[in-house]
Structure 1
């Protein structure tokens, strides 16, 4: 995807570190990421555009919106990810005017006033970095709970190493954070009221200028300024003081950590305090601002100095909660939600069955299509610029692969495995360079499920033999999927019977083809929760249904909706069904 990260800041902030860290990982995964902000200090692989969001006069705001619209159109932005109120407001208007999906990560407590309640400007969804932010958005601003996702800061946890405690002649305390705003107030009071500056060596790491009120500490405190490799500094400390990302990185370095932020002091992070720390982003968010008992921190600092090392269980929990790969995967889910539901478009998964050349081959049920019409379908797809995806593609690259900018994808599926798939379908796949997924029944040689019925029995139609199935699978144009042994209605079977149908079909096909099957199709689109569980246990990453499942395919990989192609589906009918919004209009 093409993603625009929007921030407003005049100095390095946790939001910038979050956005650039996430952005670089997204770029590594194949996305294009752009940044727009007042400043950007942390190096990033993404392209940066300077825009003074902090200038908030009415003319300036119009300019912000106009510039964002230009960026969106120029770089074919598919989603805007905002990280602050000022950038979020302008981004919201620009996205509304261009129809661009937008989400907002909320990094801190939000101001509460009437206009903010009426105009959240969060976009499709809000991403809260901790539980307390989510609760504040619900309680104070009235944001619907289902519009908020708790996704923590992403940290490259593998880059942090816990080393043996340092051997400093004089215990070293490092404070990391801004010297302005509420964090600056906290830092000042720590230096003024809490830390014994004669007993401890103190370093303050900050991207902020040392303001006048901190001048009195110049002879007793080292104001280091902004540094790129903060973890290397942390590893030399006997105690680290900070909130948010600072506390997380310190704990990953194995250093005793005192979590204190803009809202409250969690204190020294111990196993008993981890849950509270996670919920408040290590003190940044609380029921009210600056609710801190500073004198109580004196004992906490002494305990921290004596501790020497972070509890290993705490470090493991932080590694799990903030793992960058896990966080980016969660964000990609939200990106896809926002993109699909804002645009009301999804990659169509179309479903064929068998193909005929003569009218005499027609059946009672509407599962056939003249091969002449199939070729017209393929001509239309090619003319409109569609490319085909298979589930192997999604397995290798993830669902979000289908949302590549400038691409139009369709997934062609064909059920049952009729012989005409080899003789009539495969030549057209080769001719138009398309791929298809064929779901094969392995325990029958013809469509017995349609023939041996009391009502409306159909004509027998041969399925592919094992040799024919191997031939079409080795063509390079067909991916084979599972479709049970005998094509039963799974929901009507016992768990044991379902398992036999699913597992044995997969085993037979994999032994025949020498390949692992990636996806499964429920016969008749009929299944229950037990069916889905058994399909997953059998090792299928994907399963397709028919008229059930969410409208966005990534939301349930075992119930992917398909669009049926019937004998009367002509070229115009196909065009209606592949536009992307067919299911959204149909469900309404």
Structure 2
């Protein structure tokens, strides 16, 4: 995908570090990254396009929107991800006008102005901590469904636990910019809470030293922005900072005092870490005024410099919350879901059961079939339409950013009837098309239908047929339970037996690995989805449940049923890629009608 990161800052910020680091990970995964911002300090492999978002009068805003539209069109941008309100205002409008998916990450409390509408440009939004999420909902009336918590991602491989330094004079490093509220925090720390004679002090950050700090120059080491900040961290007895500074310090195992623009947390341990996470380590509070307790901070500093390391359980918790690979996984799914939503297109997953030749002698009472003539027509429509049938194994090998470059489609067959071999397979071979067949491994005929509904007996495929299909490289097999029960009606043990034993049977019989599972009748619950995952399946397919976006829930993938009453025109509608959007919209309307009726 072509992804545009929009920032606005005049010096390096945590938002810039976050955007660049996830950008580098996205580039590693094959995406193309573009950055627009007033400045961009951090080195990266993306393309940087200067854009002065901090110029905010009406005419400047219009100019930004026009330039963004041009950038989006020229670079064929698939999704815009904004990381500041200044960039988000212009980016949201540009995205609306170009029909481009718009995502935001909110890194701090949003300013309230009497002269501006309270509506926030969120799109599909993430907050880096719980306090921001709560404030957006309570103060700006943001729909809770549109703002979730997704923390700043950190590349954990960059960090390892450092040995406690052996400094004769304890070293304290305060890390953060020397402008705005953070400068006030640093000034008050030096004035009210730190014994400058007792400790050696490093102030790391800030382009220039503000005049009021000049009186500290002979007692404090002002480094400015430096590249070897982690060396300073490793050699410090105590790190003081907020946001990303605190996270990285804790990942190195250094004792850390969290204090930010909003509040002081104190030394981070298991008693304070939850409060620290919710406030982004002191940077985000609430709307009530807060008076810093500088005496408490002084006592915490004196306590912190005597600690050897951060408790290991705290470091582990930070790693779990800020693992950049997990963050980028979530973002990739979001980018894809929003692309699918805006473009109203997703890879169709089609569901067949039987293919028959003679309706009078081969059809059953349920109508879960198509004729050979219909099936040939369907395959002809796919070929003439440029569709490429793939399997779930193929899908797993296609990067997200390439998923919509071709007209992929997945053809599935449930149960494993003998007519799949007799009639469907020759037609698939003729067209060179792939398909996925879900086998009921412990039945030789449709016993579940015969016993329950007095259906005719239809035989299942036998081993030589399955082996021939397997060896054709056109057919992928999937699991469909031992006996075709309604899974949600089973006990935990019964359900596990149906799913696990079925997979074992088919894999052993055909010497293959199964990639997907189909829930009989489309009947499932959370237990079934978990067991399918636990059994080692990467995918689970349903029938009339699941999201319009395939990757939203890989264990409840919605399928589109094909039956004998469907005309060729109807088939073309169902395979178009937007069918599930139409169907889900219709389902929601019917639900509303039932409630209101």
Pick the TM interval, shorter chain.
Answer: over 0.9
What is the CA–CA distance in structure 2 between the aligned matches of 1:554 and 1:538, rounded to whole Å? Answer: 19
Q: Tell me the distance in 1 between the aligned counterparts of 2:32 and 2:568.
A: 35
- Seen in structure 2, the aligned counterparts of structure 1 residues 495 and 139 have a Cα distance that, compared at 3 Å, is closer
1:182 matched to 2:214? The reply is: no
| Residues 442 and 311 (structure 1), Cα distance of their counterparts in 2 relative to 1, 3 Å cut | closer
Q: Does 1:525 align with 2:522?
A: yes
Counting only pairs closer than 5 Å after superposition, residues 37-116 of structure 1 correspond to structure 2 as: 37-113=37-113
Query: Aligned in 2, Cα 1:308/1:505: closer, same or farther, shift over 3 Å?
Result: closer
Cα separation, 2, equivalents of 1:110 and 1:7: 15
- Change beyond 3 A, Cα 1:469–1:578: same
Deviation at residue 355 of structure 1 after TM alignment: 2.2
Which region of structure 1 is more displaced relative to structure 2, 424-433 or 249-258? 424-433
1:412 match: secondary structure: strand
2: CA distance, partners of 1:538 / 1:142 = 42
How far did 1:424 drift? 3.9
In structure 1, distance between residues paired with 2:158 and 2:488: 48
Query: Residue by residue, what CA displacement relative to the aligned partner does 1:379-405 show, whole Å, maximum 9, x if unpaired?
Result: 3334433333432245556xx738635
* Structure 2 counterpart of 1:552: 549
1:530 CA displacement: 4.4
- What is the number of equivalent residue pairs in this alignment? 583
State the distance in 1 between where 2:194 and 2:404 align: 54
Measured in 2, the distance between the counterparts of 1:315 and 1:473 equals 48
Q: Which residue of 2 aligns with 1:543?
A: 540
Cα shift at 1:343 = 3.6
Alignment of 1:73-472 (within 5 A): 73-113=73-113, 118-123=118-123, 125-288=124-287, 291-358=291-358, 362-364=362-364, 365-395=366-396, 401=400, 404-451=403-450, 457-458=455-456, 460-472=457-469
Once the two structures are TM-superposed, the CA of residue 35 in structure 1 deviates from its matched residue by 1.4
> Does structure 1 conserve the Cα–Cα contact (< 8 Å) formed by 2:31 and 2:401?
no
- 3-state SS of the aligned residue for 1:547? coil
| Partner Cα separation in structure 1 for residue 273 and residue 171 of structure 2 | 24
Cα offset for 1:165? 1.4
Partner SS, residue 199 of structure 1: coil
Alpha-carbon separation, structure 2, partners of 1:75 and 1:95: 14
- Larger deviation: 13-22 or 413-422? 413-422
CA shift in 2, pair 1:522/1:90, >3 Å = same
Q: CA deviation at 1:91?
A: 0.7
Contact 2:36–2:50 (CA under 8 A) maintained in structure 1: yes
Q: Which sections of structure 2, spanning at least 5 residues, go unmatched?
A: 586-597
**Cα distance 1:386–1:209, how it changes in 2: closer, same or farther (>3 A)?**
farther
Query: Does the C-alpha gap of structure 1 residues 175 and 432 become closer, same or farther in structure 2, counting only changes over 3 Å?
Result: farther
In the TM superposition, residue 430 of structure 1 has moved relative to its aligned partner by: 4.3
Q: Distance in 2 between matches of 1:380 and 1:497?
A: 42
Alignment of 1:497-508 (within 5 A): 497-508=494-505
Deviation at 1:510, TM superposition (A): 0.7
Is the alpha carbon distance of 1:27 and 1:388 closer, same or farther for their aligned partners in structure 2, counting shifts above 3 Å?
A: farther
Q: Deviations over 1:212-248 (max 9, x none)?
A: 3333333322221212332222101111111000011
Do the aligned partners of 1:65 and 1:90 also contact (CA within 8 Å) in 2?
yes
Distance (whole Å) between structure 2 residues aligned to residue 88 and residue 263 of structure 1: 23
Tell me the secondary structure at the aligned position of residue 5 of structure 2: strand
| Deviation per residue, 1:420-474 (Å, 9 max, x gap) | 333443444445443221111223334444455655x34x444321121122122
Q: Rate the CA distance shift 1:6–1:272 in 2: closer, same or farther, 3 A.
A: same
Deviation of 1:72 (Å): 1.9
TM-aligned CA distance change 1:211 to 1:494, over 3 Å: closer
Kindly provide the CA deviation profile for residues 282-321 of structure 1, in whole angstroms up to 9, marking residues without a partner as x.
0000124664222332222211211132222221211221
Question: TM-score, with normalisation over the residues of structure 2?
Answer: 0.91
Shift of 1:156: 1.2
For the Cα contact (< 8 Å) 1:116–1:141, is it kept in 2? no
Contact 1:506 1:517 in 2 (8 A): yes
Query: Structure 2: how far apart are the matches of 1:164 and 1:498?
Result: 50
- TM-score, structure 1 normalization: 0.92
Offset at residue 351 of structure 1 (A): 0.7
Separation (CA, whole Å) in 2 of partners of 1:425 and 1:496: 36
Deviation at 1:117, TM superposition (A): 5.3
Secondary structure, aligned partner of 1:271? coil
Using the TM superposition, name which of 106-115 and 75-84 deviates more: 106-115
Q: Distance in 2 between matches of 1:493 and 1:293?
A: 58
1-side partners of 2:344 and 2:369: how far apart? 30
Q: Distance in 2 between matches of 1:535 and 1:258?
A: 44
Q: Over aligned residues, Cα RMSD in angstroms?
A: 2.4
Deviates more, 1:60-69 or 1:292-301: 292-301
- Structure 1 position 32, deviation (Å): 2.3
Deviation track 1:341-368 (CA, whole Å, cap 9, x = no partner) reads: 3444332111112223455565133222
Is the 1:482–1:519 contact (alpha carbons within 8 Å) kept by the matching residues of 2? Answer: yes
1:2 aligns with 2:2: yes
Counterpart contact for 2:487–2:523, Cα < 8 Å: yes
| Structure 1 unpaired stretches of 5+ | none
Change (3 A) 1:426 1:40: farther
2:590 matched residue in structure 1: none
2:18–2:153 contact (8 Å) kept in structure 1: yes
